[in-house]
């Protein structure tokens, strides 16, 4: 059984349905409950059970509620995909501390809260997959101090939780750094920005496909990656080596 946060749109939907195809029942968390219902129907159409739980990951109680409900309703918790996240692109000299903190609260503190809530419900063999970003490893021409800091911090969190939990609890913790995928976040980019990145930074010359992200999630969630923990997989078409 898998928990997927940020499951109301984009890569979260792709991951949730891919996990269902791989045989998982799925507990879906996000703030937009109406959109979660659509994802739940997509999971159920694949023959798996799904529950939708309105979840704001900045609320530790809501994270605990999602994890506990997932176990109560679906029987166990094997996988967490920490996918909830927000972005900002504000020049640092104009970015308020409140704006900065809001991004970090969702992308880093929220992932910590969700990971600890899920780990309390997991048995040996559990897998936590944190969705970071290539912006946690490099820059891409936008003023993204808060987003960059939160995603880089998530890689450090991944390593530390792996160190704490893999030997003691038997729970693996790994991270994915996606590159450019068409999502609601990229819809907010300035006109021409993505095209410029495709030309200058992406060796494959195209954006990633949702199923390519989802396949990496399934790999890290399951036994094929059983000897991996504290690792970061980059799925970016070559951005980070340009």
Query: Residue 240 falls within a domain, yes or no?
Result: no
Query: Residue 238 falls within a domain, yes or no?
Result: no
Query: Residue 242 falls within a domain, yes or no?
Result: no
Residues recognised as catalytic: 147
Beta strands 172-178; 232-235: pairing state: parallel
Query: Residue 177 falls within a domain, yes or no?
Result: yes
CATH of the domain at 76: 3.40.50.720
Provide the residue range defining the domain that includes 16: 2-233
**CA-to-CA distance for 80 and 70, rounded, in angstroms?**
11
DSSP per-residue letters across 12-39: HHHHHHHHHHTT--EEEEES-HHHHHHH
**CA-to-CA distance for 179 and 158, rounded, in angstroms?**
18
Distance of CA 51 to CAs 28, 40, 66, Å?
A: 6, 6, 10
What is the count of structural domains for the chain? Answer: 1
Q: Answer whether 174's CB lies under 8 Å from 242's CB.
A: no
Give the pTM: 0.94
**CA-to-CA distance for 170 and 191, rounded, in angstroms?**
46
Q: What is the pLDDT of residue 195?
A: 73
Query: Residue 239 falls within a domain, yes or no?
Result: no
Query: Residue 184 falls within a domain, yes or no?
Result: yes
pLDDT by residue for the chain (242 residues), tens digit each? 999 999 999 999 999 999 999 999 999 999 999 999 999 999 999 999 999 999 999 999 999 999 999 999 999 999 999 999 998 888 999 999 999 999 999 999 999 999 999 999 999 999 999 999 999 999 877 888 999 999 999 999 999 999 999 999 999 999 999 998 877 666 656 676 667 777 788 999 988 999 999 999 999 999 999 999 999 999 999 999 98
Task: Provide CB contacts within 8 A for 72, sequence distance 6+.
Answer: none
Query: Residue 199 falls within a domain, yes or no?
Result: yes
**CA-to-CA distance for 30 and 108, rounded, in angstroms?**
16
Query: Residue 241 falls within a domain, yes or no?
Result: no
């Amino acid at each position: 059984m898998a928990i997927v946060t940020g499951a109301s749109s984009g890569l979260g939907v792709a991951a949730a349905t891919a996990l269902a195809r791989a045989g998982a029942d799925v507990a879906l968390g996000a703030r937009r409950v109406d959109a979660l219902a659509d994802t739940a129907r997509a999971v159920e159409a694949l023959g798996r059970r799904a529950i939708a739980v309105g979840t704001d990951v900045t609320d530790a109680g809501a994270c605990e509620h999602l994890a506990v409900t997932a176990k109560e309703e679906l029987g166990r918790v094997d996988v967490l995909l920490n996918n909830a996240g927000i972005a900002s692109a504000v020049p640092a000299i104009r970015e308020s501390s409140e704006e900065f903190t809001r991004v970090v609260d969702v992308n880093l503190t929220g992932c910590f809260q969700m990971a600890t809530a899920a780990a309390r419900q997991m048995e040996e063999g559990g897998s936590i997959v944190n969705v970071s970003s290539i912006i946690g490893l490099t820059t891409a021409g936008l003023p993204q101090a808060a987003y960059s800091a939160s995603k880089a911090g998530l890689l450090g969190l991944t390593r530390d939780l792996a160190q704490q939990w893999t030997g003691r609890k038997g729970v693996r913790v790994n991270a994915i750094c996606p590159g450019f995928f068409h999502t609601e976040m990229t819809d907010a980019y300035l006109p021409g920005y993505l095209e410029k990145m495709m030309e200058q930074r992406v060796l494959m010359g195209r954006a990633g496909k949702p199923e390519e992200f989802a396949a990496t999630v399934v790999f890290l969630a399951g036994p094929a990656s059983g000897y991996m923990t504290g690792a970061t997989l980059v799925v970016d078409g070559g951005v980070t080596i340009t």
